Structure 1
Protein backbone atom coordinates (compact mmCIF):
# COMPACT_ATOMS: atom_id res chain seq x y z
CA UNK A 1 0.00 0.00 0.00
CA UNK A 2 1.38 3.41 -0.98
CA UNK A 3 1.34 6.03 1.78
CA UNK A 4 1.39 9.54 0.33
CA UNK A 5 3.38 12.25 2.02
CA UNK A 6 1.18 15.13 3.19
CA UNK A 7 3.63 17.56 1.61
CA UNK A 8 4.04 15.38 -1.54
CA UNK A 9 7.67 16.36 -2.04
CA UNK A 10 8.94 16.18 -5.61
CA UNK A 11 12.21 14.30 -6.21
CA UNK A 12 14.10 14.57 -9.51
CA UNK A 13 16.24 11.49 -10.31
CA UNK A 14 18.99 12.02 -12.87
CA UNK A 15 20.60 8.75 -14.05
CA UNK A 16 21.43 7.24 -17.46
CA UNK A 17 20.86 3.65 -16.27
CA UNK A 18 17.19 2.56 -16.70
CA UNK A 19 17.50 -0.12 -14.00
CA UNK A 20 18.59 2.46 -11.41
CA UNK A 21 15.72 4.74 -12.40
CA UNK A 22 13.20 1.93 -12.03
CA UNK A 23 14.41 0.81 -8.60
CA UNK A 24 14.60 4.32 -7.18
CA UNK A 25 11.27 5.41 -8.70
CA UNK A 26 9.44 2.46 -7.15
CA UNK A 27 11.06 2.96 -3.75
CA UNK A 28 10.38 6.69 -3.65
CA UNK A 29 6.83 6.27 -4.88
CA UNK A 30 6.15 3.75 -2.11
CA UNK A 31 7.62 6.22 0.39
CA UNK A 32 5.09 8.84 -0.72
CA UNK A 33 7.23 11.05 -2.95
CA UNK A 34 6.35 12.35 -6.40
CA UNK A 35 9.09 11.30 -8.81
CA UNK A 36 10.44 12.99 -11.94
CA UNK A 37 13.23 11.46 -14.02
CA UNK A 38 15.91 12.64 -16.42
CA UNK A 39 18.45 10.47 -18.22
CA UNK A 40 21.21 13.06 -18.63
CA UNK A 41 22.40 16.40 -17.32
CA UNK A 42 20.98 18.54 -20.12
CA UNK A 43 17.47 17.14 -19.83
CA UNK A 44 17.65 17.65 -16.05
CA UNK A 45 18.50 21.33 -16.52
CA UNK A 46 15.64 21.67 -19.03
CA UNK A 47 13.19 20.25 -16.48
CA UNK A 48 14.32 22.82 -13.93
CA UNK A 49 13.08 25.47 -16.34
CA UNK A 50 9.46 24.57 -15.65
CA UNK A 51 9.43 22.66 -12.33
CA UNK A 52 11.32 23.11 -9.07
CA UNK A 53 11.80 19.80 -7.24
CA UNK A 54 12.40 19.63 -3.51
CA UNK A 55 15.52 17.48 -3.97
CA UNK A 56 17.69 16.06 -6.78
CA UNK A 57 19.29 12.59 -6.86
CA UNK A 58 22.16 13.02 -9.30
CA UNK A 59 24.35 10.35 -10.87
CA UNK A 60 27.97 11.50 -10.86
CA UNK A 61 29.11 9.58 -13.95
CA UNK A 62 27.01 10.06 -17.10
CA UNK A 63 27.88 10.36 -20.78
CA UNK A 64 28.12 13.90 -22.14
CA UNK A 65 27.60 16.30 -19.25
CA UNK A 66 28.57 14.46 -16.08
CA UNK A 67 26.94 14.94 -12.69
CA UNK A 68 29.61 17.32 -11.39
CA UNK A 69 29.10 19.79 -14.25
CA UNK A 70 25.33 19.36 -14.00
CA UNK A 71 25.43 20.26 -10.29
CA UNK A 72 27.63 23.27 -10.97
CA UNK A 73 25.09 24.58 -13.50
CA UNK A 74 22.20 23.90 -11.12
CA UNK A 75 23.92 26.03 -8.49
CA UNK A 76 24.29 28.82 -11.10
CA UNK A 77 20.51 29.00 -11.65
CA UNK A 78 18.87 31.47 -9.20
CA UNK A 79 15.62 29.53 -9.09
CA UNK A 80 17.30 26.19 -8.41
CA UNK A 81 20.41 27.09 -6.44
CA UNK A 82 18.76 26.21 -3.12
CA UNK A 83 17.67 22.66 -4.08
CA UNK A 84 19.49 19.92 -2.11
CA UNK A 85 21.54 17.61 -4.36
CA UNK A 86 22.53 14.07 -3.35
CA UNK A 87 25.15 12.47 -5.57
CA UNK A 88 24.84 8.80 -6.49
CA UNK A 89 28.26 7.42 -7.33
CA UNK A 90 30.47 4.39 -7.49
CA UNK A 91 33.47 6.69 -7.20
CA UNK A 92 34.71 6.32 -3.65
CA UNK A 93 38.09 8.00 -3.93
CA UNK A 94 38.46 11.06 -1.70
CA UNK A 95 39.10 13.38 -4.65
CA UNK A 96 35.74 12.47 -6.21
CA UNK A 97 33.84 12.92 -2.95
CA UNK A 98 35.52 16.28 -2.36
CA UNK A 99 34.73 17.38 -5.91
CA UNK A 100 31.07 16.58 -5.37
CA UNK A 101 30.94 18.91 -2.37
CA UNK A 102 32.98 21.58 -4.17
CA UNK A 103 30.45 21.88 -7.00
CA UNK A 104 27.58 22.23 -4.51
CA UNK A 105 26.48 18.73 -3.55
CA UNK A 106 24.86 18.26 -0.15
CA UNK A 107 25.42 14.53 0.33
CA UNK A 108 26.29 11.35 -1.55
CA UNK A 109 25.37 7.68 -1.57
CA UNK A 110 27.57 4.86 -2.86
CA UNK A 111 26.45 2.43 -5.57
CA UNK A 112 25.10 -0.18 -5.57
CA UNK A 113 22.25 1.77 -4.05
CA UNK A 114 20.33 0.68 -0.95
CA UNK A 115 16.83 2.21 -1.29
CA UNK A 116 16.28 2.46 2.48
CA UNK A 117 19.52 4.40 2.91
CA UNK A 118 18.65 6.69 0.00
CA UNK A 119 15.22 7.44 1.47
CA UNK A 120 16.74 8.13 4.91
CA UNK A 121 19.25 10.58 3.41
CA UNK A 122 16.49 12.28 1.39
CA UNK A 123 14.40 12.76 4.54
CA UNK A 124 17.39 14.22 6.40
CA UNK A 125 18.17 16.67 3.59
CA UNK A 126 14.53 17.75 3.30
CA UNK A 127 14.43 18.47 7.04
CA UNK A 128 17.58 20.57 6.78
CA UNK A 129 16.23 22.41 3.74
CA UNK A 130 13.01 23.16 5.59
CA UNK A 131 14.92 24.60 8.55
CA UNK A 132 17.07 26.74 6.27
CA UNK A 133 13.97 27.92 4.42
CA UNK A 134 12.34 28.87 7.71
CA UNK A 135 15.46 30.73 8.84
CA UNK A 136 15.63 32.66 5.56
CA UNK A 137 11.95 33.56 5.80
CA UNK A 138 12.36 34.67 9.41
CA UNK A 139 15.33 36.83 8.45
CA UNK A 140 13.46 38.45 5.58
CA UNK A 141 10.27 38.99 7.60
CA UNK A 142 11.61 39.93 11.02
CA UNK A 143 10.58 43.60 10.74
CA UNK A 144 7.23 42.88 9.10
CA UNK A 145 3.87 41.32 9.88
CA UNK A 146 4.19 37.94 8.15
CA UNK A 147 2.59 34.51 8.49
CA UNK A 148 4.16 31.48 6.80
CA UNK A 149 1.73 28.86 5.45
CA UNK A 150 2.19 25.19 4.64
CA UNK A 151 0.88 23.65 1.43
CA UNK A 152 -2.57 23.18 2.97
CA UNK A 153 -2.79 26.86 3.93
CA UNK A 154 -2.20 26.24 7.63
CA UNK A 155 -0.02 28.68 9.59
CA UNK A 156 3.32 27.23 10.64
CA UNK A 157 5.13 30.39 11.77
CA UNK A 158 4.37 34.07 12.28
CA UNK A 159 6.04 37.25 13.46
CA UNK A 160 4.99 38.88 16.72
CA UNK A 161 3.74 41.92 14.79
CA UNK A 162 1.32 39.74 12.83
CA UNK A 163 -0.04 38.20 16.03
CA UNK A 164 -0.48 41.63 17.61
CA UNK A 165 -2.51 42.89 14.66
CA UNK A 166 -4.67 39.75 14.57
CA UNK A 167 -5.43 40.22 18.27
CA UNK A 168 -6.30 43.87 17.65
CA UNK A 169 -8.64 43.27 14.70
CA UNK A 170 -10.09 39.95 15.90
CA UNK A 171 -10.32 40.42 19.70
CA UNK A 172 -12.68 37.45 20.10
CA UNK A 173 -10.58 34.97 18.11
CA UNK A 174 -9.85 31.60 19.69
CA UNK A 175 -6.32 30.48 20.46
CA UNK A 176 -6.99 27.48 18.19
CA UNK A 177 -7.11 27.59 15.26
CA UNK A 178 -4.27 30.09 15.19
CA UNK A 179 -5.95 32.21 12.53
CA UNK A 180 -9.42 33.79 12.85
CA UNK A 181 -12.21 32.01 11.00
CA UNK A 182 -12.74 34.82 8.41
CA UNK A 183 -9.04 34.63 7.50
CA UNK A 184 -9.09 30.83 7.27
CA UNK A 185 -12.16 30.99 5.03
CA UNK A 186 -10.48 33.54 2.77
CA UNK A 187 -7.33 31.40 2.54
CA UNK A 188 -9.33 28.27 1.68
CA UNK A 189 -11.17 30.09 -1.09
CA UNK A 190 -8.00 31.40 -2.75
CA UNK A 191 -5.28 28.85 -1.91
CA UNK A 192 -5.21 27.19 -5.34
CA UNK A 193 -4.94 30.53 -7.11
CA UNK A 194 -2.30 31.74 -4.63
CA UNK A 195 -0.16 28.67 -5.31
CA UNK A 196 -0.02 29.68 -8.98
CA UNK A 197 0.13 33.47 -8.67
CA UNK A 198 -0.05 34.95 -5.14
CA UNK A 199 -0.19 38.53 -6.41
CA UNK A 200 -3.35 37.83 -8.43
CA UNK A 201 -5.43 37.18 -5.29
CA UNK A 202 -7.32 40.27 -4.04
CA UNK A 203 -6.42 41.32 -0.52
CA UNK A 204 -8.65 40.62 2.46
CA UNK A 205 -9.61 43.94 4.07
CA UNK A 206 -10.71 43.99 7.71
CA UNK A 207 -11.77 47.17 9.50
CA UNK A 208 -10.97 47.54 13.15
CA UNK A 209 -13.61 45.81 15.26
CA UNK A 210 -13.73 48.59 17.86
CA UNK A 211 -12.80 52.16 17.16
CA UNK A 212 -10.05 53.58 19.29
CA UNK A 213 -11.64 56.40 21.29
CA UNK A 214 -8.34 58.28 21.24
CA UNK A 215 -8.07 58.16 17.44
CA UNK A 216 -10.54 60.94 16.66
CA UNK A 217 -9.12 61.84 13.28
CA UNK A 218 -8.23 58.46 11.75
CA UNK A 219 -9.73 55.10 10.86
CA UNK A 220 -7.74 51.86 10.69
CA UNK A 221 -8.01 48.78 8.49
CA UNK A 222 -5.96 45.59 8.16
CA UNK A 223 -5.09 44.29 4.70
CA UNK A 224 -3.96 40.68 4.28
CA UNK A 225 -2.45 39.51 1.00
CA UNK A 226 -0.65 36.47 -0.36
CA UNK A 227 3.01 36.59 -1.30
CA UNK A 228 5.97 34.26 -1.68
CA UNK A 229 9.33 34.33 0.10
CA UNK A 230 11.99 35.67 -2.24
CA UNK A 231 14.65 33.22 -1.12
CA UNK A 232 12.67 30.41 0.50
CA UNK A 233 9.75 30.17 -1.94
CA UNK A 234 7.32 29.69 0.99
CA UNK A 235 3.75 30.87 0.62
CA UNK A 236 3.25 33.85 2.93
CA UNK A 237 0.56 36.14 4.25
CA UNK A 238 1.65 39.76 4.40
CA UNK A 239 -0.29 41.98 6.82
CA UNK A 240 -0.38 45.75 6.45
CA UNK A 241 -2.25 48.26 8.56
CA UNK A 242 -3.66 51.19 6.61
CA UNK A 243 -4.49 54.40 8.49
CA UNK A 244 -6.96 56.69 6.75
CA UNK A 245 -6.85 60.24 8.02
CA UNK A 246 -10.19 61.90 8.63
CA UNK A 247 -10.19 65.66 8.05
CA UNK A 248 -10.33 67.49 11.35
CA UNK A 249 -13.55 69.28 12.06
CA UNK A 250 -13.36 73.02 11.41
CA UNK A 251 -13.21 75.19 14.54
CA UNK A 252 -16.28 77.07 15.71
CA UNK A 253 -14.76 80.35 14.49
CA UNK A 254 -15.14 79.16 10.91
CA UNK A 255 -18.95 79.29 11.25
CA UNK A 256 -18.75 83.06 11.86
CA UNK A 257 -21.24 83.16 14.72
CA UNK A 258 -21.77 86.49 16.39
CA UNK A 259 -20.77 86.84 20.08
CA UNK A 260 -24.45 86.66 21.07
CA UNK A 261 -25.03 83.55 18.92
CA UNK A 262 -22.00 81.93 20.54
CA UNK A 263 -23.49 82.63 23.96
CA UNK A 264 -26.83 81.09 22.95
CA UNK A 265 -25.12 78.01 21.50
CA UNK A 266 -22.95 77.56 24.58
CA UNK A 267 -25.95 77.39 26.89
CA UNK A 268 -27.86 75.22 24.39
CA UNK A 269 -24.96 72.72 24.48
CA UNK A 270 -25.29 72.66 28.28
CA UNK A 271 -28.88 71.44 27.96
CA UNK A 272 -30.69 74.69 28.75
CA UNK A 273 -34.15 75.41 27.35
CA UNK A 274 -34.98 78.55 25.38
CA UNK A 275 -36.61 80.12 28.45
CA UNK A 276 -33.54 79.27 30.59
CA UNK A 277 -31.24 80.85 27.99
CA UNK A 278 -33.47 83.91 27.81
CA UNK A 279 -33.31 84.36 31.59
CA UNK A 280 -29.55 83.81 31.74
CA UNK A 281 -28.74 86.18 28.88
CA UNK A 282 -31.40 88.75 29.70
CA UNK A 283 -33.36 88.51 26.46
CA UNK A 284 -36.82 87.36 25.41
CA UNK A 285 -37.52 83.75 24.39
CA UNK A 286 -38.49 85.08 20.95
CA UNK A 287 -35.01 86.61 20.53
CA UNK A 288 -33.45 83.33 21.57
CA UNK A 289 -35.49 81.57 18.86
CA UNK A 290 -34.30 84.09 16.30
CA UNK A 291 -30.68 83.53 17.26
CA UNK A 292 -31.19 79.77 17.03
CA UNK A 293 -32.58 80.08 13.49
CA UNK A 294 -29.40 81.91 12.43
CA UNK A 295 -27.24 79.39 14.27
CA UNK A 296 -28.91 76.43 12.53
CA UNK A 297 -28.31 77.98 9.11
CA UNK A 298 -24.67 78.78 9.80
CA UNK A 299 -23.93 75.34 11.27
CA UNK A 300 -25.84 73.50 8.54
CA UNK A 301 -28.07 71.63 10.99
CA UNK A 302 -31.81 71.41 11.50
CA UNK A 303 -32.33 70.49 15.16
CA UNK A 304 -31.30 71.65 18.61
CA UNK A 305 -29.68 68.28 19.39
CA UNK A 306 -27.57 68.42 16.22
CA UNK A 307 -26.39 71.93 17.01
CA UNK A 308 -25.58 70.96 20.59
CA UNK A 309 -23.66 67.84 19.48
CA UNK A 310 -21.61 69.83 16.98
CA UNK A 311 -20.74 72.45 19.58
CA UNK A 312 -19.70 69.83 22.15
CA UNK A 313 -17.57 68.03 19.56
CA UNK A 314 -15.72 71.21 18.58
CA UNK A 315 -15.12 72.09 22.21
CA UNK A 316 -13.69 68.60 22.88
CA UNK A 317 -11.41 68.77 19.85
CA UNK A 318 -10.20 72.22 20.82
CA UNK A 319 -9.39 71.15 24.37
CA UNK A 320 -7.42 68.11 23.10
CA UNK A 321 -5.34 70.25 20.74
CA UNK A 322 -4.32 72.47 23.67
CA UNK A 323 -3.18 69.50 25.82
Structure 2
Protein backbone atom coordinates (compact mmCIF):
# COMPACT_ATOMS: atom_id res chain seq x y z
CA UNK A 1 0.00 0.00 0.00
CA UNK A 2 1.30 3.45 -0.90
CA UNK A 3 2.23 5.53 2.08
CA UNK A 4 0.14 8.71 2.36
CA UNK A 5 1.93 12.02 2.18
CA UNK A 6 2.48 14.26 5.19
CA UNK A 7 -0.56 16.21 4.00
CA UNK A 8 -2.79 13.14 4.46
CA UNK A 9 -5.07 14.91 6.93
CA UNK A 10 -5.97 15.19 10.58
CA UNK A 11 -7.52 12.32 12.54
CA UNK A 12 -9.06 12.45 16.00
CA UNK A 13 -8.60 9.04 17.63
CA UNK A 14 -10.96 8.33 20.54
CA UNK A 15 -10.45 5.25 22.73
CA UNK A 16 -10.35 4.64 26.49
CA UNK A 17 -8.01 1.62 26.08
CA UNK A 18 -4.59 3.26 26.30
CA UNK A 19 -2.63 0.36 24.79
CA UNK A 20 -4.92 0.26 21.78
CA UNK A 21 -4.79 4.05 21.53
CA UNK A 22 -1.00 4.04 21.49
CA UNK A 23 -0.65 1.37 18.80
CA UNK A 24 -3.16 2.97 16.43
CA UNK A 25 -1.82 6.47 17.09
CA UNK A 26 1.73 5.45 16.19
CA UNK A 27 0.58 3.61 13.07
CA UNK A 28 -1.49 6.51 11.77
CA UNK A 29 1.26 8.99 12.52
CA UNK A 30 3.78 6.81 10.69
CA UNK A 31 1.39 6.72 7.74
CA UNK A 32 1.50 10.50 7.53
CA UNK A 33 -1.60 11.59 9.42
CA UNK A 34 -1.66 14.31 12.04
CA UNK A 35 -3.25 12.51 14.99
CA UNK A 36 -4.99 13.93 18.03
CA UNK A 37 -6.31 11.72 20.82
CA UNK A 38 -9.11 11.70 23.38
CA UNK A 39 -9.94 9.03 25.95
CA UNK A 40 -13.67 9.71 26.45
CA UNK A 41 -16.68 11.12 24.65
CA UNK A 42 -16.77 14.48 26.43
CA UNK A 43 -13.10 15.16 25.66
CA UNK A 44 -13.70 14.14 22.04
CA UNK A 45 -16.60 16.57 21.63
CA UNK A 46 -14.58 19.41 23.14
CA UNK A 47 -11.61 18.62 20.90
CA UNK A 48 -13.77 18.57 17.78
CA UNK A 49 -15.43 21.88 18.62
CA UNK A 50 -12.09 23.50 19.35
CA UNK A 51 -10.39 22.26 16.17
CA UNK A 52 -12.37 20.05 13.76
CA UNK A 53 -10.41 17.11 12.31
CA UNK A 54 -10.90 15.65 8.86
CA UNK A 55 -12.08 12.30 10.27
CA UNK A 56 -12.92 10.86 13.70
CA UNK A 57 -12.00 7.25 14.57
CA UNK A 58 -14.25 6.48 17.52
CA UNK A 59 -14.41 3.57 19.94
CA UNK A 60 -18.02 2.45 20.29
CA UNK A 61 -17.87 1.27 23.90
CA UNK A 62 -16.47 3.76 26.43
CA UNK A 63 -17.34 4.79 30.00
CA UNK A 64 -19.35 7.98 30.51
CA UNK A 65 -21.03 8.57 27.17
CA UNK A 66 -20.33 5.78 24.69
CA UNK A 67 -19.25 6.26 21.10
CA UNK A 68 -22.79 6.09 19.76
CA UNK A 69 -23.97 8.96 21.97
CA UNK A 70 -20.79 10.92 21.26
CA UNK A 71 -21.46 10.62 17.54
CA UNK A 72 -25.11 11.61 17.94
CA UNK A 73 -24.14 14.78 19.81
CA UNK A 74 -21.62 15.72 17.15
CA UNK A 75 -24.22 15.21 14.43
CA UNK A 76 -26.64 17.53 16.23
CA UNK A 77 -24.39 20.55 15.67
CA UNK A 78 -24.21 22.30 12.32
CA UNK A 79 -20.51 22.97 12.95
CA UNK A 80 -19.51 19.33 13.41
CA UNK A 81 -22.11 17.16 11.72
CA UNK A 82 -20.23 16.90 8.42
CA UNK A 83 -17.13 15.29 9.96
CA UNK A 84 -17.08 11.58 9.02
CA UNK A 85 -16.98 9.12 11.93
CA UNK A 86 -15.46 5.65 11.65
CA UNK A 87 -16.47 3.39 14.53
CA UNK A 88 -14.13 0.89 16.18
CA UNK A 89 -15.90 -1.92 17.94
CA UNK A 90 -15.36 -5.40 19.17
CA UNK A 91 -19.06 -6.03 18.72
CA UNK A 92 -19.60 -7.85 15.47
CA UNK A 93 -23.33 -8.48 15.61
CA UNK A 94 -25.59 -6.69 13.18
CA UNK A 95 -27.49 -4.78 15.88
CA UNK A 96 -24.48 -2.76 16.97
CA UNK A 97 -23.22 -2.21 13.44
CA UNK A 98 -26.63 -0.77 12.53
CA UNK A 99 -26.58 1.32 15.71
CA UNK A 100 -23.33 2.91 14.60
CA UNK A 101 -24.78 3.91 11.24
CA UNK A 102 -27.98 5.17 12.87
CA UNK A 103 -25.89 7.38 15.17
CA UNK A 104 -24.33 9.02 12.10
CA UNK A 105 -21.22 6.93 11.45
CA UNK A 106 -20.04 6.45 7.87
CA UNK A 107 -17.96 3.31 8.38
CA UNK A 108 -16.67 0.85 10.97
CA UNK A 109 -13.74 -1.46 11.71
CA UNK A 110 -13.74 -4.31 14.22
CA UNK A 111 -11.26 -4.85 17.03
CA UNK A 112 -8.53 -5.92 17.07
CA UNK A 113 -8.05 -3.28 14.38
CA UNK A 114 -6.20 -4.31 11.23
CA UNK A 115 -4.12 -1.22 10.50
CA UNK A 116 -4.03 -1.77 6.74
CA UNK A 117 -7.84 -1.92 6.67
CA UNK A 118 -8.16 1.22 8.78
CA UNK A 119 -5.70 3.10 6.56
CA UNK A 120 -7.63 2.14 3.45
CA UNK A 121 -10.92 3.37 4.93
CA UNK A 122 -9.30 6.53 6.27
CA UNK A 123 -7.84 7.42 2.89
CA UNK A 124 -11.30 7.30 1.29
CA UNK A 125 -13.10 9.32 3.96
CA UNK A 126 -10.35 11.90 4.46
CA UNK A 127 -10.27 12.55 0.72
CA UNK A 128 -14.04 13.05 0.62
CA UNK A 129 -14.00 15.28 3.70
CA UNK A 130 -11.23 17.47 2.32
CA UNK A 131 -12.98 17.74 -1.03
CA UNK A 132 -16.17 18.84 0.73
CA UNK A 133 -14.23 21.36 2.82
CA UNK A 134 -12.57 22.81 -0.27
CA UNK A 135 -15.91 23.01 -2.08
CA UNK A 136 -17.54 24.83 0.83
CA UNK A 137 -14.57 27.19 1.10
CA UNK A 138 -14.70 27.96 -2.63
CA UNK A 139 -18.41 28.79 -2.47
CA UNK A 140 -17.79 30.83 0.68
CA UNK A 141 -14.94 32.82 -0.88
CA UNK A 142 -17.24 33.72 -3.76
CA UNK A 143 -19.58 35.31 -1.23
CA UNK A 144 -22.28 32.67 -1.60
CA UNK A 145 -24.23 31.59 1.47
CA UNK A 146 -25.89 28.27 0.62
CA UNK A 147 -27.97 26.02 2.90
CA UNK A 148 -29.27 22.50 2.25
CA UNK A 149 -32.17 21.08 4.27
CA UNK A 150 -34.19 17.88 4.45
CA UNK A 151 -37.93 17.20 4.32
CA UNK A 152 -38.36 18.22 7.97
CA UNK A 153 -36.40 21.46 7.39
CA UNK A 154 -33.37 20.27 9.37
CA UNK A 155 -30.21 21.90 8.03
CA UNK A 156 -28.05 19.15 6.53
CA UNK A 157 -25.27 21.23 4.99
CA UNK A 158 -24.21 24.86 4.83
CA UNK A 159 -21.29 26.92 3.65
CA UNK A 160 -19.29 28.59 6.45
CA UNK A 161 -20.81 31.97 5.57
CA UNK A 162 -24.34 30.57 5.79
CA UNK A 163 -23.50 28.87 9.09
CA UNK A 164 -22.42 32.18 10.65
CA UNK A 165 -25.57 33.97 9.54
CA UNK A 166 -28.04 31.18 10.24
CA UNK A 167 -26.76 29.54 13.44
CA UNK A 168 -28.33 32.11 15.86
CA UNK A 169 -31.74 31.57 14.23
CA UNK A 170 -31.87 27.76 14.18
CA UNK A 171 -34.38 25.91 16.35
CA UNK A 172 -32.93 22.47 17.24
CA UNK A 173 -31.01 22.61 13.96
CA UNK A 174 -34.23 23.29 12.05
CA UNK A 175 -34.83 26.35 9.93
CA UNK A 176 -36.66 29.19 11.77
CA UNK A 177 -40.42 28.62 12.04
CA UNK A 178 -41.45 31.61 9.84
CA UNK A 179 -39.08 30.37 7.14
CA UNK A 180 -40.53 26.86 7.37
CA UNK A 181 -44.04 28.28 6.93
CA UNK A 182 -42.85 30.22 3.87
CA UNK A 183 -41.34 27.06 2.36
CA UNK A 184 -44.72 25.33 2.66
CA UNK A 185 -46.42 28.19 0.79
CA UNK A 186 -47.19 28.26 -2.91
CA UNK A 187 -44.93 31.24 -3.74
CA UNK A 188 -41.72 30.02 -2.08
CA UNK A 189 -40.04 29.42 -5.43
CA UNK A 190 -40.99 32.84 -6.77
CA UNK A 191 -40.72 35.39 -3.98
CA UNK A 192 -37.74 35.63 -1.59
CA UNK A 193 -38.40 35.66 2.14
CA UNK A 194 -36.92 38.23 4.52
CA UNK A 195 -35.97 37.76 8.17
CA UNK A 196 -34.55 40.48 10.38
CA UNK A 197 -31.90 39.70 12.99
CA UNK A 198 -29.98 42.25 15.06
CA UNK A 199 -30.71 45.08 12.63
CA UNK A 200 -29.77 43.14 9.51
CA UNK A 201 -31.99 41.65 6.85
CA UNK A 202 -31.48 38.07 5.69
CA UNK A 203 -33.11 37.42 2.32
CA UNK A 204 -33.78 33.72 1.57
CA UNK A 205 -34.29 32.46 -1.97
CA UNK A 206 -35.24 28.89 -2.88
CA UNK A 207 -32.77 27.73 -5.53
CA UNK A 208 -34.33 24.27 -5.86
CA UNK A 209 -36.14 21.89 -3.49
CA UNK A 210 -33.97 21.48 -0.40
CA UNK A 211 -31.54 24.29 -1.26
CA UNK A 212 -31.59 27.93 -0.14
CA UNK A 213 -29.34 30.90 -0.80
CA UNK A 214 -29.03 33.74 1.71
CA UNK A 215 -28.18 37.39 1.14
CA UNK A 216 -27.51 39.75 4.01
CA UNK A 217 -28.21 43.46 3.94
CA UNK A 218 -27.43 46.11 6.48
CA UNK A 219 -30.13 47.94 8.40
CA UNK A 220 -32.82 49.52 6.28
CA UNK A 221 -32.82 53.26 5.47
CA UNK A 222 -35.51 55.23 7.30
CA UNK A 223 -38.49 56.66 5.34
CA UNK A 224 -36.93 60.14 5.47
CA UNK A 225 -33.92 58.79 3.58
CA UNK A 226 -36.16 57.11 1.02
CA UNK A 227 -37.79 60.45 0.18
CA UNK A 228 -34.32 61.82 -0.61
CA UNK A 229 -33.42 58.85 -2.78
CA UNK A 230 -36.67 58.53 -4.69
CA UNK A 231 -39.46 60.92 -5.82
CA UNK A 232 -41.87 59.72 -3.12
CA UNK A 233 -44.23 61.42 -0.74
CA UNK A 234 -43.71 60.85 2.98
CA UNK A 235 -46.58 58.34 3.12
CA UNK A 236 -45.32 56.47 0.05
CA UNK A 237 -41.88 56.28 1.64
CA UNK A 238 -43.40 54.82 4.81
CA UNK A 239 -45.27 52.20 2.80
CA UNK A 240 -42.09 51.30 0.88
CA UNK A 241 -40.15 51.06 4.13
CA UNK A 242 -42.55 48.49 5.57
CA UNK A 243 -42.81 46.60 2.27
CA UNK A 244 -39.04 46.22 2.31
CA UNK A 245 -39.36 44.81 5.82
CA UNK A 246 -41.62 42.12 4.38
CA UNK A 247 -44.93 43.38 5.82
CA UNK A 248 -48.25 42.65 4.09
CA UNK A 249 -50.71 45.36 3.11
CA UNK A 250 -52.88 44.46 6.08
CA UNK A 251 -49.95 44.72 8.49
CA UNK A 252 -48.82 48.02 6.98
CA UNK A 253 -52.35 49.36 7.29
CA UNK A 254 -52.43 48.48 10.98
CA UNK A 255 -49.04 50.12 11.57
CA UNK A 256 -49.92 53.32 9.71
CA UNK A 257 -53.60 53.36 10.75
CA UNK A 258 -54.88 53.30 7.18
CA UNK A 259 -56.89 50.73 5.24
CA UNK A 260 -55.22 47.94 3.21
CA UNK A 261 -56.87 49.41 0.11
CA UNK A 262 -55.19 52.76 0.76
CA UNK A 263 -51.88 50.96 1.27
CA UNK A 264 -52.35 49.27 -2.10
CA UNK A 265 -53.03 52.66 -3.76
CA UNK A 266 -49.83 54.12 -2.31
CA UNK A 267 -47.98 51.01 -3.42
CA UNK A 268 -49.22 51.41 -6.98
CA UNK A 269 -47.79 54.95 -7.01
CA UNK A 270 -44.50 53.65 -5.56
CA UNK A 271 -44.20 51.00 -8.28
CA UNK A 272 -44.87 53.59 -10.98
CA UNK A 273 -42.33 56.07 -9.62
CA UNK A 274 -39.64 53.42 -9.10
CA UNK A 275 -40.30 51.75 -12.46
CA UNK A 276 -40.91 48.31 -10.95
CA UNK A 277 -43.83 45.88 -10.97
CA UNK A 278 -43.51 43.81 -7.79
CA UNK A 279 -42.90 44.23 -4.07
CA UNK A 280 -39.73 42.17 -4.34
CA UNK A 281 -38.35 44.39 -7.08
CA UNK A 282 -39.12 47.52 -5.04
CA UNK A 283 -37.45 46.09 -1.95
CA UNK A 284 -34.42 44.97 -3.97
CA UNK A 285 -34.07 48.47 -5.40
CA UNK A 286 -34.03 49.97 -1.90
CA UNK A 287 -31.47 47.47 -0.64
CA UNK A 288 -29.19 47.82 -3.66
CA UNK A 289 -29.29 51.63 -3.30
CA UNK A 290 -28.36 51.25 0.37
CA UNK A 291 -25.28 49.23 -0.53
CA UNK A 292 -24.03 51.64 -3.17
Q: TM-score, normalised by structure 1?
A: 0.41
TM-score normalised by structure 2 residue count: 0.45
Which protein has the larger Cα radius of gyration, Structure 1 or Structure 2?
1
